[in-house]
Structures are given as structure tokens and as C-alpha cells.
Structure 1
Amino acid sequence: MPVGLIALALGGFGIGLTEFVIMGLLPEVSADFAVSEATAGWLISGYALAVVVGALLLTLAMARMDRKNALALLLSVFVVGNVLSAIAPDYWTMMSGRIIAALAHGAFFGIGSVVAAGMVDRTRKAAAIAIMFTGLTAANVLGVPFGTMLGQTAGWRSTFWAISVIGVLALIGILTFVPRTAGADDTPSAGIRSELRAFKSGQVWLSIAVTVLGYGGMFGAFTYIAFTLTEVSHFSASTVPWLLILFGVGLFVGNALGGKAADRNVDRTLLVILAVLVVVLVAFALTAGNQPLTIVFLVLMGGFGFATVPGLQMRVMNYAKNAPTLASGANIGAFNVGNALGAWLGGVTITAGWGYTSPIWAGSAITFLGLIVMVIAATNARRAARISAQTPRHAAPQVVEEYSR
């Protein structure tokens, strides 16, 4: 395994930690800045919105930049944002630091996916992307609990100093171990017009839609999982962190296995995983009152939910052809749009009085919609491939393009 992939994973670990650890530190942050917890919660929402903006604008701005230099610059921005958060004298300075760090998030994973895929042979590209995203899963499994513990014992600012150090180490690793030629032969950096032309592909848009719906369904169920575990499954509040670690283990395993499966057949992998995820969510909602089954389905929800990530990222890059960078970044933004959609719809169902299993039901419905879109995308792709095989070579590109829209 190329050492450069470890450097990319370390960067992903720091970025994932920045995104999620704030959830466990909101009481300390709100008390320090004398704001309500709801106001402090905007530090989470503001970050998520900035990820979407950065995934598009920064990736587009770096379209002609050497990808290794782009990753180094993005990690530098990320470190600056976290240092600003660590020294913030007031709430709005903290918000500024969060936004600056978030702007690097989507572009880092978008460009990093292209670089990771370019560091291995063609049969291991999705697995390489999965290794980079392992940093994100590790942030959930280990980083968030320990980052929260550090913030509670040494002050919340210490956590952001620690994240800044992680960012510097990842920056050094990328400068040292990531080849400058990674991905350059297969997917050279394109200009702005070339990157934008990738969005003429209907398959790119279908893939992004699957990302929003498929991943958003899982995240919508997860957002309110603490209420489900305590109010429906009747676990004690002190047990919830340990259950979330089990959920994180599911993320970790699903990410690795999903990447390996996607390298064999992306569309088939996504169809199977999304179908199983719908079944898992429905079964979870039906059996949430049973503690042993809750544990089983919690782990399976994390495993199958995150098993989609390497395949979804790889699919967008495949159909973006020679200009995958912006499409890859846009797909990272789509994950965050899915997060927001799932969390919003889950909140609507709770507010409507449908109980604490309703976000899981809502998540299963959203994921089912994602499965339908994936069926349409896979069917169109097979039709295009079949026509390409039957059409004279000089006419094939035009015909395939017509059926890919």
C-alpha cells in the first residue's frame, strides 16, 4: 500500500474530527461564549453549508493547479481555520474558523479521491479511495470520543489545537509521500471549461442524486439515534457512547469491504448495498424495542450505509471521464446535502409526533428513493454499453452519449 494513502487518510481523519467532535463539545462552547446551545449548534450547520460551497468553488478554482500542491494548500487552509477556532475570543470568530476549515473539506476529499485512485492500478482504485475515507471513519470511531474527552478535561480549545497538529502532520506526509504524478496520466488536471463539461453527463447527475438520497437516508436515521437508543430501546445514557463506537466499527468495516466490492463492479455493488440498507433500516425501525437486535442493526446500518461511499465516489469519477476533479468535489458536497436532508426530514417526523423511530422510517424511504435512482442509472449505463458494442466504432461515442443522458 502506498504510504501516500496513509497521509491522505490522516488528513481525512483530521477533517472528520473537525466536523464531528464539536457535537460533544457544544455545552462547553456555548457556556464559554455565553450563547444558547441552539446558537452554538449553528457551528455545525455553518460548517456543513461551507463544505458544499468549498467543494464546488475551491475545487473549480484549483482546476489547473497541480493536485499535490492543491492538497497542500487545502490542508494549510484547514490548519489556519482550526487555529483560529482554538484562539477565538468570541462566537463569531469561532464561526469564521469553522467556515475556513470547512471550505477545505469538500475540495480535499474531492481532489484526494482522484489522487488516491491514481496511486494504484486500475483494479484497486475504489479500494484506494476507501483507504483515504478510512480516516473519516476512524474520526468517528476513535477521534470523536477521545477528542470530546480531551476537550472536557483540558478545555475545548485543546481539542482544536490537537486537530491543528494532526493537520500539520498530514501536510508533511502529503508533501513527502504523495507522488506529484498521482493520477496525472489517467486524469490530468483539466481547465475550468473541461471540468464543467463533466456535468453534461446525465450519469454524473444521477450518481450525485444517489449520493444525496442513499447516504442521506442513513445519516437521517443516525442523527437522532441517541433518542432512539434511550427512549425506545431503553439503553442508559451512559451506554450510548459505547454503542456509537460499535456503529463506528460498522462504518470502518463497511467502508473497506464496499471499496473492494466496487472495484469488481460499481453498479452491482451499489444496487445490492442500497437494497440491503433499505431492509436493514426497516428491520431496525420494527425491532428498536429489542436491545440485542438494536445492537445488531445499529452496526449493520453503519456498515451498509458507509459501504456505499467508495462506490459512489468512484462512479462519479468514472462518468466525469477526463475531468473528474470538480465532479468528485461536487459529490462530496452531495454527501453533506444528504446529511442535511436526512436530518431535516427526521426532525420533521419527530416534531409531527411520530415517535423516535420515525427518523429511521424516513431514512428507509429516502434510501429507497436512492435505490430507484440507482436502478435507473444502472439500466441506462447497461443500455449504453450494449449499444456501443453493437454500433460501428465511428458512430459509437455519439450514440452512447445520447443514452447516457
Structure 2
Amino acid sequence: MKKSLLSLALGGLGIGVTEFAMMGMLPDVARDLSISIPQGGYLIAAYALGVVVGAPLLVVAMSRFSPKRTLVLLMILFTLFNGLSIIAPDFGFLLASRFISGLPHGAFFGVASVVASRLAVKGKEAQAVSLVFSGLTVANLLGVPLGTYIGHHFSWRYTFVLIAIIGVLTVLALKFWMPEGEATKRKGSPWKDFAIFRNRNIWFMVLIFSVAPAALFAWISYIAPLMTQVTGFDTQQLPYIMVLAGLGMFVGNLIGGKLTDMYSPVIIVLSVLVLQIAVMLAIYYSAGSAWASLVMTFLTGVITFALVPSLTLLLLNAIESDAEMLVASLGPACFNIANALGAFLGGVPIDKGYPFTSPALVGAAMSFGGILITLLYVSQNRKKKHVIIAEA
């Protein structure tokens, strides 16, 4: 792996721990702050909302900088903002700090995706992009279980200290390993890039990214109570369960990258969404069995994260524009709309008194919605082969 790509993956690791560790620590945070578990879900949604708001605004605001300088500045902001969570005295402050710390997330992945595709060997762009997002999967494999362990046995605040340390290391890696690159040369205001929203394909991408991955978040946002109160695992075993989920995500991300370089991204997206419905239904019906739940935890990680490279390439193929970093930033932004939707909608049936298996049905419904939107996108672009058929 090139050191430049490794520095991007390291940033993804820090971001992944920030985004997903809250899910494993949810019972501990809720108990410490005297809130309910569904209320704790708002901390997940607040971070996701920060990503949605920050992605397009920060990408455009920094568009005159070189990619390297942009990435370094974003990771400095990420590190400082996450430091606020360490000192949060109450739920309201933590809610606000989670929102603020989410601001650089989408912008970082948007710029990093474009940079990775530029650094990649021709024909292996999807695999390069998957390496960037491998930081997320390694976070779920190692960082999140470690953060969950620290949060459960010591304090969830120490997990944010760990995140800040990763942020500092990423800044240093980017400074020494990332080639400078050139800033985008443009005439007039960079804010004119928002004209891309006049293209209906962008809105299709917003919908697909906001709905298709929501199954992952409907499931994983409540994985702690599902595994402890339904399946019967002890809370001490949660870090190991998160390792299993992370291993599945790591494998799925790599598989998704390879398949997307071999086939059309839209074919991979539709295929994965069908499998996603199947695993959500399997979770719902097998949650009472410990062994079946462990198997489904791994498989769900594989299948849900196989979507990431294919969705990213589908987005980059969607429109032809000079504002490619803004276009790319919409993926992580809308991925976190899916995060917020999954966490929120997954919590609705729980609030109504239904069991902790019910979010899996919400996930299946969201996957089905993703299939319908993707098919509509295909039907609207039949004559644009570079959009539908193009390989990475």
C-alpha cells in the first residue's frame, strides 16, 4: 500500500472510531448521563447531521487549497472538535459536541476519495477508494471494540482521548506522506459549484445514499441491547461481538472494491441490497440463537459494507462536473443521513414497545426502498452508458 493511501486510511480509522464507537458504548453513556437508550441514539444522529451539514460547506470553502492542505486542515478540526466530547459535562453538551465533531467527516472522505482515485493504478480506482474506507472497517474491527472496552471498563471519555490521538497521528502522516498536488484552478466564486444540484442525477444519488445503507445503522445502532437482552450475551462479550462485526465490514469492503472494478457499480449495488434484505430478515428470526446471531453479525458486516465502494463509484459516474470533490463529499454526507435515518427509525418500534429485533425489519424496508430508487435511476439513464454500464 502506498504511504499516501495509508495516511488516508488512518484518517478513516479515526473517523470510524468516532462514528461507530458510540454504538457499542451506548448503554454506558446512557447510564452515566442518566438518559434512555433511545435518547442515546440521538448522539448517533447528531454526529450524522454534522457530517451532512459539514461535507459540502467545508469542501467548497476549502476548494482553493491543495488537496493535501485541505486534508490536513480537516483532520486538525476533527481532532479539536472531538476533544470537546472528552470534557462534556451533560447530555446537551455532548449532543452539541457530537454534531460539531461530525462536520469534517464527510469533507475528508469526499476529498480523500478523489485523491485516492487519482493516485490509483488505472483500472483499480474502486480498490483505491476501498482502501480509504478500509480505515472505517479497521475501526470496526479493532478501534470500536477497543473503544467499547475502554468505555465499559473505564470511561467512555477515554475513548475520545484515543480518537484525538489517532487524529494527531493522521495529521502527521498526511504532512509527511501525502504529495502536495495542485489546487483546483477556477474562475469566479467556488460557491458556484453548488450548481450541480440542478442535475437530477445528483438527487438520485442523494436518495440512494440516504436510504440504501440505512439497514446497517438500524441494526448496529441497537446491537448492544439486541445481543445482551435478546440473544443473552453478557455485556463483557460486546467488544468481541463488535470485533466480529468489524471483521465482516473489513472483508465486505475489500470484496466490494474488487467486484466493482470487475462489474458495473449499479449491478453490485442492486445485488448487495437484495442480500441485505435477506440478512436483516435472518437477524429478526434468529436473534434468540447465540451461534446464529454471531454468524449473522459477521455476514451482515460483509454485505452492508460491500455497498461502500460500489456506491462511491456510482456517485462519481453519475455526473460530469469540475466540482468532483463536492460530488464525492455527498457520498459520506448522505451515508450519514442513512446513519441518522437508521438510528432514528430503528428506535421508533423500540419506543413503541416492540422488541430489540424490530430494527432489523426497518432495515429490510430501507433496503427495499434503496432497490426501488436505484431501478428508477437506471430507467432514467438508459441511454447514458457512462453512468450505468461504466466500470471503475
Residue matched to 2:296: 297
Aligned pair count reads 385
Q: 1:232 to 1:72 in 2, by over 3 A?
A: same
- Looking at structure 1, the residues matched to 11 and 319 of structure 2 have their Cα atoms a distance apart, in angstroms, of 25
The 3-state SS of whatever aligns with 1:382 is coil
The 3-state SS of whatever aligns with 1:21 is helix
The 3-state SS of whatever aligns with 1:122 is coil
Q: 1:95 to 1:276 in 2, by over 3 A?
A: closer
- Looking at structure 2, the residues matched to 205 and 82 of structure 1 have their Cα atoms a distance apart, in angstroms, of 31
Q: Which has the larger radius of gyration?
A: 1
The 3-state SS of whatever aligns with 2:246 is helix
Residue matched to 2:368: 368
- Looking at structure 1, the residues matched to 386 and 31 of structure 2 have their Cα atoms a distance apart, in angstroms, of 62
Residue matched to 1:332: 332
**CA offsets per residue over residues 150-178 of structure 1, 9 Å max, x none?**
45566544433332221111111112222
The 3-state SS of whatever aligns with 2:173 is helix
Once the 2 structures are TM-superposed, how far is the Cα of residue 285 of structure 1 from its aligned partner?
Answer: 2.1
From 217, 221, 224, the equivalent of 1:223 is: 221
- Point out which structure has higher relative CO (alpha carbons under 8 A, 6+ apart): 2
Once the 2 structures are TM-superposed, how far is the Cα of residue 371 of structure 1 from its aligned partner?
Answer: 1.0
The 3-state SS of whatever aligns with 2:63 is coil
- Looking at structure 2, the residues matched to 313 and 287 of structure 1 have their Cα atoms a distance apart, in angstroms, of 32
Q: 1:189 to 1:272 in 2, by over 3 A?
A: farther
Residue matched to 1:399: none
Residue matched to 1:144: 144
Letter in 1 for 2:109: F
Residue matched to 2:170: 170
Once the 2 structures are TM-superposed, how far is the Cα of residue 273 of structure 1 from its aligned partner?
Answer: 1.0
Letter in 2 for 1:261: L
RMSD value, Cα:
3.0
- Looking at structure 2, the residues matched to 15 and 58 of structure 1 have their Cα atoms a distance apart, in angstroms, of 16
Letter in 2 for 1:326: L
Q: Does 1:49 align with 2:39?
A: no
Residue matched to 2:204: 206
**CA offsets per residue over residues 220-247 of structure 1, 9 Å max, x none?**
1222233333444344444333222211
Q: Does 1:78 align with 2:78?
A: yes
**CA offsets per residue over residues 310-367 of structure 1, 9 Å max, x none?**
1112211222423221122222111111112122222222333443322111111110
- Looking at structure 2, the residues matched to 117 and 244 of structure 1 have their Cα atoms a distance apart, in angstroms, of 30
Residue matched to 2:241: 243
Residue matched to 1:133: 133
Residue matched to 2:323: 323
CA contact under 8 A between 2:314 and 2:387: conserved in structure 1?
Answer: no
Once the 2 structures are TM-superposed, how far is the Cα of residue 304 of structure 1 from its aligned partner?
Answer: 0.8
The 3-state SS of whatever aligns with 1:117 is helix
- Looking at structure 2, the residues matched to 366 and 388 of structure 1 have their Cα atoms a distance apart, in angstroms, of 22
The 3-state SS of whatever aligns with 2:179 is coil
Once the 2 structures are TM-superposed, how far is the Cα of residue 133 of structure 1 from its aligned partner?
Answer: 0.9
CA contact under 8 A between 1:282 and 1:361: conserved in structure 2?
Answer: yes
- Looking at structure 1, the residues matched to 303 and 96 of structure 2 have their Cα atoms a distance apart, in angstroms, of 35
Letter in 2 for 1:119: L
Q: Which has the higher mean CA deviation after the structures are superposed, 239-248 or 328-337?
A: 239-248
- TM-score normalised to the size of structure 2? 0.87
- TM-score normalised to the size of structure 1? 0.84
Letter in 2 for 1:167: G
CA contact under 8 A between 2:41 and 2:221: conserved in structure 1?
Answer: no
% identical equivalent positions: 38
Q: 1:153 to 1:353 in 2, by over 3 A?
A: closer
Once the 2 structures are TM-superposed, how far is the Cα of residue 43 of structure 1 from its aligned partner?
Answer: 4.2
**CA offsets per residue over residues 234-283 of structure 1, 9 Å max, x none?**
44444333222211111110011101111222111111111111122223
- Looking at structure 2, the residues matched to 10 and 62 of structure 1 have their Cα atoms a distance apart, in angstroms, of 21
Residue matched to 2:17: 17
CA contact under 8 A between 2:4 and 2:178: conserved in structure 1?
Answer: yes
The 3-state SS of whatever aligns with 1:383 is coil
Residue matched to 1:260: 258
CA contact under 8 A between 1:189 and 1:323: conserved in structure 2?
Answer: no
The 3-state SS of whatever aligns with 1:289 is coil
Q: Which runs of 5+ in 1 are unaligned?
A: 390-405
CA contact under 8 A between 1:201 and 1:319: conserved in structure 2?
Answer: no
- Looking at structure 1, the residues matched to 148 and 295 of structure 2 have their Cα atoms a distance apart, in angstroms, of 26
Residue matched to 1:114: 114
Once the 2 structures are TM-superposed, how far is the Cα of residue 54 of structure 1 from its aligned partner?
Answer: 0.7
Residue matched to 2:312: 313
The 3-state SS of whatever aligns with 1:210 is helix
**CA offsets per residue over residues 111-144 of structure 1, 9 Å max, x none?**
1111111111331111111111111111122112
- Looking at structure 2, the residues matched to 30 and 136 of structure 1 have their Cα atoms a distance apart, in angstroms, of 24
Once the 2 structures are TM-superposed, how far is the Cα of residue 203 of structure 1 from its aligned partner?
Answer: 2.4
Q: 1:131 to 1:351 in 2, by over 3 A?
A: same
CA contact under 8 A between 2:41 and 2:344: conserved in structure 1?
Answer: no
